Amino acid sequence: MQSTDSVSFSEIRRALREKGVCSKSGVVEESATCSLIYCDGGDGILIAVFIEGEWVYAKIVAEGSVKPYMWHCNELLYTPYGLYVFTKNDIMKLVERIKDKKQWVLGQLRLVLERLAEVEE
């Protein structure tokens, strides 16, 4: 499952579980070019995966950084929170990059929550 001519969303979800990024994953929304995946691995993250020709890119956002009504591919694409990863038809490289950035995204969530607490005081 290294490099392929075409990448499928189901292969990406399977690789996320196999590499331990997600213990469970579910599809929140899916279209021809985007799949929004809820990834549970202790801390919930949302992964919007986009396929554009031979390029695959993903936006990773901590679950608590966006309200549930914003759990859509286009909403995640434009939220200021989260990080992007890119690859050219290489599922394993995409998953490794997501895994590497997961802790950064969860760190962002802690900052968001701290700032919200300051505002509420």
Check: CB of residue 63 under 8 Å from CB of residue 44: yes
Q: What's residue 3's pLDDT?
A: 40
What predicted TM-score, i.e. pTM, was given to this entire model?
0.82
Cβ–Cβ under 8 Å, residues 25 and 68: no
Q: What confidence tier does 103 reach under pLDDT thresholds 50, 70, 90?
A: confident
pLDDT at 108 over 80: yes
- Name the strands in the sheet holding 55-62, side by side, starting at the edge strand that comes first in the sequence: 24-30, 34-40, 44-52, 55-62, 83-88
Query: What's residue 110's pLDDT?
Result: 80
Q: pLDDT tier at 99 (50, 70, 90 boundaries)? A: very high
pLDDT (tens digit per residue) in 37-87 = 999 877 889 999 999 888 999 999 998 888 888 899 999 988 888 999 999
Q: What pLDDT was estimated at residue 112?
A: 73
41 half-sphere exposure, CB direction, 13 A CA radius: 22
Q: Where are the beta strands (DSSP E) in the chain?
A: 24-30, 34-40, 44-52, 55-62, 83-88
